[in-house]
Chains A and B, each alone.
Chain A
Amino acid sequence: MATPIIAIDRLCKRYPLPDDKKQTFLAVNEVSLSIDAGEIFGILGPNGAGKTTTLEMLEGLNDIDSGTATIDGIDVGSSPFKIKEIIGVQLQANEYFDNLSLEELLVLFAALYNRSVDSGELLDKVNLRDKAKAKPDNLSGGQKQRFSIACALVNSPKVLFLDEPTTGLDPQAKRNLWDLVRELNAAGMTIVLTTHNMEEAEVLCQRIAIMDHGELIAQGTPQELIHAHAPEPPAAPMHGNLEDVFLVLTGHELRE
């Protein structure tokens, strides 16, 4: 049995209602999860389900209102800076400082962790070595996402968080990114991603959780979930006519 690296217990996040600031609503409502070391875990849900907010609480970007979360045994609420040392994060927005090349950005991000980094090697990993001198603005959507992942890898994180990594990518770029995620996972990295792409959840993730309206409504392997929640196959179509029904009801014996 694998050991959990992320343990979330009854996590809650309240936001003021957009129309009435005095009222609040629960963006994340008592979410409990356990994610094993070395797995690719997907959080699924429609827009506004609370996926990003849940990730942001784990990443220390958002305060935890109630409940607890630990990553690798470290409490997120009380030691956010220790958490930041061991996680890598790719956010939905992936814009960077103007006027810096990919190479320079990687060196900068490494410096934020007080590390030095072999930017060439990292760019190799995400297949962007030939773009080392390019600016992020000149990259395609898929290249930008791969670069975001490279930035998230500068501190050799134990856990990598990817927020909707393939949204907006074309099929080739999407598959290319899945391969990258599998490679990183094969090397032992735990990966937590959000998506609303079912195919991605099914073929890429080893386990998934489904969220809606801030609540966790199901979790398990894709197979388990299909088994437990897929709709019953439709009943065999009816055949026969009213006479058959009449016969069934009144019997086949001849009457005199």
Chain B
Amino acid sequence: MLTRLQLHLARVFLKIFLRDKQSIFFSLFFPIIFMSVFGFINNGEQEPVDIGVVNTSSGPVAEDFIQQLINDPLFNVTVGLESRLREQLEVGDQTMVLILPEQMNTSDSIDATSLRVLVDAAQVQQLGMIIPLLEQKLLAIEREFRDIEPLFTLTVEDVQARSQRYIDFLLPGLMAFTLMQLSIAGSGFNIVEYRRKGILKRLFVTPIQPKDFIAAIVMARTTIVLLQLSVLIAFAVFILDVRILGNFASFFLIVILGTFTFLNLGFCLGSVAKTQQAVMAVGNIIIFPQIFLSGVFYPIESMPELLQPIATVLPLSFVATAMRDIANEGASLLAVAPSLIGIVIWFITGFILATRLFVWKEVAN
């Protein structure tokens, strides 16, 4: 149960954090700049993808497919010879080259037709978005030839219903990332700072219990994180026209759980690292890989196979995935249960570690 003292302390911490205008400014500045870059510059639209098409068949299916690609504003299509397009791909004039096989004209073939895609490895982060679009096109064509299968058509409709912009993909991940940074800095970095200044020691000569202190910091930090994320959501929804499909209550529940989890990990960090330099170094070891591995900026599926199993179980991955599923797909809490369980496991691990490691006397000295 929360005591009067804990609530009072939480209010004081909230006051302390809110008066630190600089850190609030910068923690909002980075994500807002980032979202603006992807939201405004593309004006919410995907930059057309330069795609070269080599047509080795002369049938109507291939023609139809190319026409569909040309009609789609998302693609900037060049039809030509493989050798020339390959060169263009190498110098970066094409993002990918699609090779349509000869068999493409046999529309009633039982064997699946396989299209070869040449890509520039440097552009690999875009693939995660382009490949589904291509598949969508292929499915559309397939549907034309086989529209006697209603179930199948239904699936295709579903794919088309959420045409996703990068900003839609980015926002939940970016919010999860911001949440992690605020939380780890808010517990770990603060603790080390308070210890360095002798503030923890001073608190420890009063009858305050460690759990009151920690509960107050957690409450105050969680409030701050919720306020800051609300500003980001408002910016995304009202200025960048990002749509959030899911339930806000579920979304914020994930935010709160994620915040608790990272605050705990931050407390572990603050207890292990004794100096400001150490906490920065160890903090970066925790934060940095997660930026790239946790599917914040591009989907985990587009990462090397070898890294995927590791990436999937990172705490930020669970939080980002759950937030994204809810925001982009309107998933229910039940639907994001695997991520939810992952978050809870990390939360419990962090909590056990934090209470083991956070020795009040040692931390104070």
Contacts and interface: CB of A to CB of B under 8 A. Distances in A.
Interface of A: 59-63, 81, 84-85, 87, 89, 91-100, 104, 108-109, 111-114, 151, 155
Contact of B205 (A60, A95, A104): A60
A183 B166 CA distance: 70
Contacts of A96: 197, 199, 202
A81 B204 CA distance: 10
Contact of B9 (A91, A104, A111): A111
B364 to A, nearest CB: 7
How many interface residues does chain B have, given as a range?
20 to 34
Given A84-B205, A85-B207, A112-B5, A100 B361 contact: no
Contacts of A62: 361, 365
A5 to B, nearest CB: 18
B16 to A, nearest CB: 5
Given A61-B365, A111-B5, A112-B5, A97 B205 contact: no
B199 A81 contact: no
B206 A91 contact: no
A73 B348 CA distance: 42
Contact of B361 (A61, A84, A93, A114): A61
Contact of A97 (B4, B199, B365): B199
B208 interface: yes
Contacts of A111: 5, 8-9, 12
B15 interface: yes
B162 interface: no
Given A95-B197, A96-B199, A99-B20, A63 B207 contact: no
B203 interface: yes
Given A93-B198, A95-B199, A61 B204 contact: yes
B207 A61 contact: no
Contacts of A87: 205
Interface string B16-28: 1001100000000
A91 B207 contact: no
B14 to A, nearest CB: 11
Contact of B201 (A61, A97, A99, A155): A61
Interface of B: 4-5, 8-9, 12, 15-16, 19-20, 194, 197-199, 201-209, 361, 364-365
Nearest to B194: A97
Contact of A113 (B201, B207, B361): B207
B15 A100 contact: yes
A109 B97 CA distance: 69
Nearest to B193: A98
A92 to B, nearest CB: 8
Contacts, number: 74
Which of B201, B202, B208 has the most chain A CB atoms inside 10 A of its CB?
Answer: B202
B101 to A, nearest CB: 67
Contacts of B364: 61
B15 A104 contact: yes
A14 to B, nearest CB: 15
A95 B207 CA distance: 19
Contacts of A97: 12, 16, 194, 199
A108 B19 contact: no
B269 to A, nearest CB: 20
A60 B201 CA distance: 11
Contact of A104 (B12, B197, B199): B12
A84 B361 CA distance: 14
A151 B20 CA distance: 23
A230 to B, nearest CB: 37
Contacts of B207: 81, 84-85, 112-113
A112 B208 contact: yes
30 contacts: A59-B205, A60-B205, A61-B204, A61-B364, A61-B365, A81-B207, A85-B207, A87-B205, A91-B198, A91-B202, A92-B198, A93-B197, A93-B201, A94-B198, A96-B197, A97-B16, A97-B194, A97-B199, A98-B16, A98-B19, A99-B16, A99-B19, A99-B20, A100-B16, A104-B15, A108-B9, A111-B9, A112-B5, A112-B208, A155-B206
Nearest to B21: A99
Contacts of B208: 112
A89 B197 CA distance: 16
Nearest to A87: B205
A94 B199 CA distance: 8
Given A97-B12, A108-B12, 18 more contacts: A60-B205, A62-B361, A81-B207, A84-B205, A89-B202, A91-B198, A91-B202, A93-B197, A94-B202, A96-B199, A97-B194, A99-B16, A99-B20, A100-B15, A104-B12, A111-B8, A111-B9, A112-B5
**Complex A-B, nearest 8 residue pairs according to Cβ-Cβ distance, in ascending order:** A93-B198, A99-B19, A95-B197, A112-B206, A89-B205, A84-B207, A112-B208, A111-B8
A114 B5 contact: yes
B276 to A, nearest CB: 14
Contacts of B197: 93, 95-96
A84 B12 contact: no
B117 to A, nearest CB: 56
Contacts of A92: 198
Nearest to B204: A61
B1 to A, nearest CB: 16
Contacts of A94: 198, 202
B274 to A, nearest CB: 15
A50 to B, nearest CB: 16
A96 B8 CA distance: 17
Which of B205, B207, B361 has the most chain A CB atoms inside 10 A of its CB?
Answer: B205
